[in-house]
Structure 1
Amino acid sequence: MTGSSTRRTADGSTSRGPVRPAWVLAAVLALLTVVFIAQNRDRVSIHLFTATVSAPLWLLLTITVLVGAAVGALVRTRR
């Protein structure tokens, strides 16, 4: 099995080796995003094309993050 870093631990479960820096960075960024969204709870008005929408800022930020994640997942390339 070339390229596989999976190994068995003493209790019989499997381990995938050391944590990759990209996963650590992703977890830190996700945590910072959640903290940022939680701290912005004011109600704001935004202009969306011809409509004006009034909503809590945390909701609009959450929607923006989810749309960004969906776009990233759609255009992601596998290596």
Structure 2
Amino acid sequence: MKKKLITSAFTLVLLLGLGTGVMAATNKIDCNVGDFKEMLPMMQDKFPNLSEKQLKEVHKDCVAKMKKESGTDCMINK
């Protein structure tokens, strides 16, 4: 009985550890920023005073930030 309990506990710890390792190794961007043309209407609503050139820079900076710091919220999606 003790052997089954210890084996089950060890298996659970091992599976959780492997799952955490795999999750940490993924390089997923949580922001899901689309291409500039797709995001333009939404960005124009959020930043009505910016020119298209400025909006392109905002998009470019956001994508770069998301690639560098995975898991950080994107200012466009707020």
TM-score, with length taken from structure 2 = 0.28
Larger Rg: 2
Between Structure 1 and Structure 2, which shows a larger proportion of helix residues?
2
Please identify which structure carries the higher strand content: 1
